[in-house]
Amino acid sequence: MFCHHLRQRALPDVWTFARKNVHKLASLQNVTSLPQKKAQSFLYPFSYMEPYLDRSVDRSDFRLFHPSVEDMLRAEKLFCSSLSHRIDYYTSVERMDHAPDIKQPEVCFIGRSNVGKSSLIKALFSLSPEVEVRVSKTPGHTKKMNFFKVGRSFTIVDMPGYGHRAPKDFVDMVEPYLFTRTNLVRMFLLVDGSVGLQTADRIALEMCEETRRPYVIVVTKVDKGAPRSLLLNLLSLQNVIQNETTSCFPQPFLVSSMNFWGIYMLRCFVAHITGTVQLSNTAQS
């Protein structure tokens, strides 16, 4: 449907570079020392895709949140555990009425089983490797709502996935949380960029809309699959966001938890919407 929006060019393979250097890439400082063009693609993944889109494609929504490197550096500090700012697993619960009574702002990550929720949280916490976040190749691995405290700044909640091998009580567990949790400031709905929006994702999208809470779409696994199909999936997703949603942030965030693409920007977005980092530019959310 969106093929005519793409320019006929092959994408260069910076992912090979990323795979070889992955141990260095968790830290923004190391990324900024790369040649500028390479660094840009890690910091602002859309900038890497952009030249391959036809000029007719409106790009403005993809740059609504566009923090500076300094903003991202300030946000990154929050993801480094220290004696005065401890990042730690807090608790796991199966029911909303057992959820911890924490006042600080909270964000949660939801999405199909295997879409990469736990991996994304692990990547966000990669500068504090002692924080244990379990990931697995087997769908349906995360069975409970897992709470991680980031000092006194905010809490991140890893949710069980829906769809294949989801916990039986998924709806009873997750819906009451999404609808009633008072300190929940943003929901992050993850969609696998290598396969695009699936029927189960559409159902989740409707559920997010029903909550009337603000939410954001995160496109995961951008390192996987052919770049061309990633771009087509992205454009089709953008079309759905524009035409079928009311409380979804217009900009989808592109990430790879394997090579840290977009992780620095997402750290900054989380820090920003939880009121922990004020931006130096005019980015909005």
**Shorter beta-carbon distance to ligand GTP: residue 257 or 276:** 257
How is the beta sheet containing 253-254 ordered, strand by strand?
87-93, 145-150, 154-158, 106-111, 184-192, 215-220, 253-254
Q: Is 18 in the site for ligand GTP (CB under 6 A)?
A: no
**Shorter beta-carbon distance to ligand GTP: residue 151 or 225:** 225
CB of 278 to ligand GTP, least distance (A): 29
CB of 159 to Mg ion, least distance (A): 8
163 binds, among ligand GTP, Mg ion, none (CB under 5 to 8 A by kind): none
Which positions from 60 to 99 touch ligand GTP by CB under 6 A, shown as an x/- string? ----------------------------------------
In the region spanning residues 148 to 177, those forming contacts with ligand GTP, defined by CB under 6 A, are: 160-161
In the region spanning residues 67 to 126, those forming contacts with Mg ion, defined by CB under 5 A, are: 117-118
CB of 136 to Mg ion, least distance (A): 7
81 binds, among ligand GTP, Mg ion, none (CB under 5 to 8 A by kind): none
Q: Are 234 and 254 in contact (CB under 8 A)?
A: yes
105 binds, among Mg ion, ligand GTP, none (CB under 5 to 8 A by kind): none
Rounded (10°) CA dihedral 191, 194, 195, 200: -20
In the region spanning residues 218 to 257, those forming contacts with ligand GTP, defined by CB under 6 A, are: 220-221, 223-224, 256-257
**Shorter beta-carbon distance to Mg ion: residue 118 or 257:** 118
CB of 133 to ligand GTP, least distance (A): 8
CB of 193 to ligand GTP, least distance (A): 9
193 binds, among ligand GTP, Mg ion, none (CB under 5 to 8 A by kind): none
**Shorter beta-carbon distance to Mg ion: residue 118 or 220:** 118
DSSP string, the chain: --GGGB-S-PPP-HHHHHHHTGGGTTSHHHHHTS-HHHHHHHHSHHHHHGGGB-TTS--GGGGSS---HHHHHHHHHHTS-BTTB-EEEEEEESSGGGS----S-EEEEEEBTTSSHHHHHHHHTTTSTTS-----SSTT---SEEEEEETTTEEEEEPPPBSTT--TTHHHHHHHHHHH-TTEEEEEEEEETTT---HHHHHHHHHHHHHT--EEEEEE-TTSS-HHHHHHHHHHHHHHHHHH-SSB-SSPEE--TTT-TTHHHHHHHHHHHTTS---SS----
> Exactly one of 81, 126, 142, 153 binds Mg ion (CB under 5 A); which one?
142
CB of 263 to ligand GTP, least distance (A): 10
153 binds, among ligand GTP, Mg ion, none (CB under 5 to 8 A by kind): none
Interface ranges with ligand GTP (CB under 6 A): 111, 113-119, 135-137, 139-142, 160-161, 220-221, 223-224, 256-258
